[in-house]
Structure 1
């Protein structure tokens, strides 16, 4: 509503228990140098002890240059024992000249995932990376045990601890140690492959990255190398990396899509189509996300009819067309000035009467400038798509109808808190 010029309505709703309106209205008031009024808007939510309101108010205070008040507000919640307050409080301290104090507060909580991440970030500001590394190393088992789930070991898991340790070691310039750590984890922790490739790129160790890309089976290293080359203007080199990976990686589909998007970015849409078409035509290759990408490329090249012809051929080969592919037709037919025909085909589909089909039809109609018809389609499935429907009503200037729709099926507000803080939203 703000984007469409209905600020007065947002302000009115902000005073009536609508949190999202209150949050955005407070931000707008702050931008208009009406900070006291902004805080008054948030006051009823802060009074409930709801953490989200506290975090929002603290963020606004900091943005307004009132960091001391933000720190005081967050500190009060921390003293009451709110589980999220310590992280916010210490990060605030670190941003405003009290990083060493923040680090000391976090040390006893290094075994907690979010607080360990905060400790590592704060350590950089406090110049205490050596201490952070010692704390993290103590959490990594000396044996070969590796957690196979987030419930395996209590506290900070081995992978997270190791990942945080690599962050600290890289800051210390001990890149060789980081490479050893990540290579040791590469077979059991998929993120280590990404981290290793990114590390090698960041430090200009491109020959090592090339060698890694030639053997890494999921195409993560090839993608990172191609990005590095593209950033330096070597588009042909990036294309060559992807084409080589197509023949060696187990994640051929993802590599092909990266290659196609690269080609499309440089005006080589026809080559991009060839890459994805070959992928889609391979046995078992015509998955919905691949077909969607192919049809989008056709449309971007001004060839929506070719995309429709491909879908027709695919349907003929399979003998049917699931909705997961059928909806892809809708914008293509609209691009061919066949909106009415697209609506008829959608309704004739076995799944055409379902709420998820209605959402696709409505989007096509709205994109074609036929928003009233989009509303009519979604009204048949209210309240399933009430947020989308409300958006279209706002586009039509029917603000009261949109607000009334969003107020439907709202659960009753929870009772006032009985403890010092509350994680349940007061709406």
Structure 2
């Protein structure tokens, strides 16, 4: 047994390091494709009714449909991965995403169904990203680069939609459909590299060895002692799983409420439509460094203790800042909001990895936190729009979002305490293929 452990602990060769790098690059490319379907529409929301003959009253539904799809399609990713492998499951999801992007843009009657299908495809791929990170014993930098990919994709989608429309001779449909091209590229890339797992093999009696570098982040924040959940405990009965789910859902609810209505709010403050779309892109761009660094910092228990609750308070203050800042200071206010909001998303993704005991635990926790979390998040755009309609202004909406951010701080406090989330991990003997490696093939 000890010889097996030493053999698995040997430093990887150059070929293994190259394979690991390619897997990481593929994951980042996948992440970049998981937001433009949403932010491209948000950036031109006011033009949608005229181009696609959509009733303006259905615009809130258009903004909510992807998030609703997220909420109902969470289990699809792990289910599909068990049957065809994780890499193939992600590739298939990106192929469906590409098809949905083309269909909804070229067939006006299918704008809403196509948007829902795109959301399902995004969710299927998204929940499997932490599982691949965990299977490859990825550090906080892995999670950070993936979350930065989400932010980069969101920024590119919002910032390029109008220039692309001009490049296509004013054709908005093609400016939306062109995002199918990078989705196809991501599908090919993850299909070719998704089978390369460098995670140490699990040996009998050591079901948590796949936790790797994240083991220290699974320590109890108060005692610094690893406290695993007993095997056989259903995920729904693990309080840490629910705390992580609440944190992820609340930050996602804030994100989608902000991205759906920020441009509309800025226009109401006297900002031009083009500048409002640019500020929406700036919201995502400003947060890129934070989305990269948040998972790295979260891997340090001393920082994690105050980071999770502190981010909730920071988001609340930033929302008040956007509400009260004059138009000429919105660039600064929106940038600050983008930084703290993106840090919250990065931490939400990191918690899935560092608060789970192994790859399969991470996959199950990812499906739960993103499935239930996005179901909660789907209420964000609807409630924000409803409050605006009922009050005729934006003050109630922003104060309600700030109050939600305070609840987010509480969820973060509980998410970093208690036992790590643990489900039955596959056991293999030396020389055989581990389940997670097999799933990636």
- TM-score, with normalisation over the residues of structure 1? 0.22
Greater helix percent: which structure?
2
Higher relative contact order (CA closer than 8 Å, sequence separation 6+): 2
- TM-score, with normalisation over the residues of structure 2? 0.21
